[in-house]
Structure 1
Amino acid sequence: MKRMLLAALAMGTTLSALAQTDSTARTDSAVISTSADTIRVGGLVIVRNGKSDRNITWSSSRNNRRTPKNLSSNWFILDLGFSNYNDATNYGSAGAQAFAPGGTKEGFKLRTGKSVNVNLWIFMQKLNLAKHRLNLKYGIGLELNNYHFDDERVHFYEDPTVVRFDYDRVSKNKLAADYVTVPVMLNFDFTPGRRKGFGFSAGVSAGYLYSSRQKVKIAGKKDKTHDNFDLEPWKLSWIGELNLGPVRLYGSYAMNNMWSRGLDQKPYNVGIRLSHW
C-alpha cells in the first residue's frame, strides 16, 4: 500500500512540475521504475530508508548531449585507410615509354591490402554558419601515402627519373609520397546537440609534396632512395567525410595527375577517421 501511495505521489509531483516547465527545455522522459528502496519517475528519484524518511533528488542523463559552440577546435585527428590510384596512362605513347620503358598497367598495379594511407591532422576547426547545422570545417595536417607495387621489380632511377623493371630478389617494394595538406569543407550536421551525431562534409584540399622515396627490401636488407621522381609537387583533391554516430569515414580523390610527366595516375584514399566530431 505504501508503494502505491509513493508512486501516486511521485506521479502527481512529476505531472505538476511538467505542467509548469517549457516543453522545449525538457530532456527527461516520464518512465516509472520501482525497487525495494527507491521509486524512479523519469528524472525524479525517491529514496526510502527504514525510518520512512524520504530523500528526493533529480537526475538527468546528458552524457550524449552537448551545447554546440560557434567555433570549436579538434586537435590531432588520426585517419587510417588505404591508398590507390586510377591509372589512365596510355602506355603505348612515346612519353610513357620514355618514362617507363616496357611499362604496362599491370606492371604498376598496387597491392590493395598493403597500400595504406595515414593522415595526422594537427588541428581542425568547425565554424557555425547557420544554426549549427551548416558549418565550415578547415585545418592543416600531414597526408602520408604508401604505394606497394604488386610487381616488385619496379625500380625508380633518379636524375633524370626513369622507371625500369630490373630489381631482383625483392621482398618489399613501395613508393611513399607525403604531403602537407589543408582541407576546407562544408559540414552538414543533422544532430548538432549530440556528441556522436549524424551528418556529412564535402569540400576540397590542397597538398604540397614535402617528402617522397622508394623503399625496397633486397635479400633481407632495406634500401631507401629519396627523390621527387618527377611527382607533381601539388595535389588538389575532392574530399568528404561521413558521420554515422560513433563511426566516421573519410575519402579523397585527386583532381590532378600525381606525376608531372610520363604516367597519368590520380590517387584516392578511403578509411576511418578517429575524431571527436
Structure 2
Amino acid sequence: MKRIFTLCIALCTMATAFSQTDSTTRTTTDTSGKKNPDTIRIGGMVIIREQGGGGGDTVKSKRNRNFNVNVRLGRRNYDKPANISTNWWIVDLGFSNYNDNTDYAGAAAQSFAPGSNEDWFKLRPFKSRNVNIWVLTQRINLAKHIVNLKYGIGIELNNYFFEDKSIRFNKNPTLVDQSYSGLTKNKLAADYLTMPVMLNFNFTPNKSRAYGFSAGVSAGYLYSARQKVKLDGDVDKTKGNFDLRKWKLSYVGEVSLGVVKLYGSYAFKSMFEKGLDMTPYNFGFRFSNF
C-alpha cells in the first residue's frame, strides 16, 4: 500500500516539475487529539489519504471541483458489474429422463419394437444421469444489469439406464428386441453439441452472488449415440444413431439462489424420429460463477 501511495506522489511530483508549481503537505490534529487525513497540495490538485474501512486505504483526488476519483484498495468492488461477463467451464450434474407417450398398440411402435409395451423402456430414475460441460457462457447487459442476454456453447451427455436389461437396439435398420439376458448394466447414451440462449433476470446485480432466474431455448446436435451393456465384467458398445433425431430443440431454464444454482431442460418433441414418442428432460445442479 505504501508503494502505491509513494508512486502516486512521484507521478504528481513529476507533473509539478513541468508546471513549476510548489507542493505542500499538511497533517492536522483536531481538538480530541485524533489526526486528520494527510493532505498533499500540488498546484490545483489535492490528494487526501485517509484510512478506509474494510481493510484498505481510500485515495481521493480532487481538482478544480470538476474531477473526483475514489479508489478503494484492498477489497473487491462489485458496485459496477461489467457489461459483458464471461464464464468458462461450467459443469452441470443432474438426471436424465423422458415422458413416454408412445402408442404401443399402434403400427409405428410395433414395427420399431415388435411386441413392446410401456414396461420395456422404463428407466432407473436416479441412475439415469445427465452431465453438461459448458465451455463458454457469456452474459450481456440489456437493462441496468438486471435484464441480460445469456448464451453459451458446450456438450450435453445423457445416459438412460433401462430397468429391463434385456432391451437391445439393432441398427441398419433400427429394430428393438429383448434378446439380451443376464446383463448387469444396459444403457443408451446420447450426446449433443448444444448452444443455449436465455433471457436472464438478476435481482442483485451489485452482489457477487446472484439471485434470479433465466429462461430460453437451446439447440443441440447429436454427435454421438451408443448402447452400452455389461455382462460378467465385460463391456460391449454398439454405436449408431438408432433413429434418434439429429437436432434436439429444448426449453431451458435456471434458478440462481446465491451459491445454489439449479437448471432444467425439456425438449420440444420426441428424441426418436419414428416408432417411439419419448420427450427427454434433464434437471440438476449447476456449478457456475453467475
TM-score range, shorter chain: 0.7 to 0.9
d(CA) in 2 for partners of 1:150, 1:61: 57
d(CA) in 1 for partners of 2:74, 2:95: 38
Alignment of 1:10-29 (within 5 A): none
Does the residue aligned with 2:132 lie in a helix, a strand or coil?
strand
Shift of 1:197: 1.6
Partner of 1:271: 284
Relative distance call for 1:195 and 1:9 in structure 2 (3 A) is farther
Detail structure 1 runs of 4+ shifted over 4 Å in the superposition: 41-45, 59-64
Partner of 2:81: 68
Structure 1 length as normaliser, TM-score?
0.78
Does the residue aligned with 1:170 lie in a helix, a strand or coil?
coil
Q: Which residue, out of 211, 216, 236, partners 2:249?
A: 236
User: Is the CA contact (8 Å cut-off) linking 1:177 and 1:212 kept in structure 2?
Assistant: yes
The C-alpha deviation readout for 1:200-221, integer Å capped at 9, x for no partner, is 0000000000000000002221
Partner of 2:127: 114
Structure 2 length as normaliser, TM-score?
0.75
User: Is the CA contact (8 Å cut-off) linking 1:178 and 1:210 kept in structure 2?
Assistant: yes
User: Max radius of gyration: which structure?
Assistant: 2
d(CA) in 2 for partners of 1:193, 1:9: 38
Q: Which residue, out of 208, 227, 236, partners 1:195?
A: 208
User: Is the CA contact (8 Å cut-off) linking 2:133 and 2:155 kept in structure 1?
Assistant: yes
Q: Which residue, out of 141, 146, 155, partners 2:159?
A: 146
d(CA) in 2 for partners of 1:64, 1:247: 22
User: Is the CA contact (8 Å cut-off) linking 2:55 and 2:75 kept in structure 1?
Assistant: no
d(CA) in 2 for partners of 1:202, 1:62: 33
d(CA) in 2 for partners of 1:170, 1:66: 58
Q: Which residue, out of 224, 229, 233, partners 1:211?
A: 224
- How many aligned positions are there? 233
Shift of 1:66: 5.3
Q: Is 2:182 the counterpart of 1:169?
A: yes
Relative distance call for 1:276 and 1:44 in structure 2 (3 A) is closer
Shift of 1:62: 5.3
**Structure 2 unaligned blocks of 5 or more:** 1-31, 37-51, 57-71
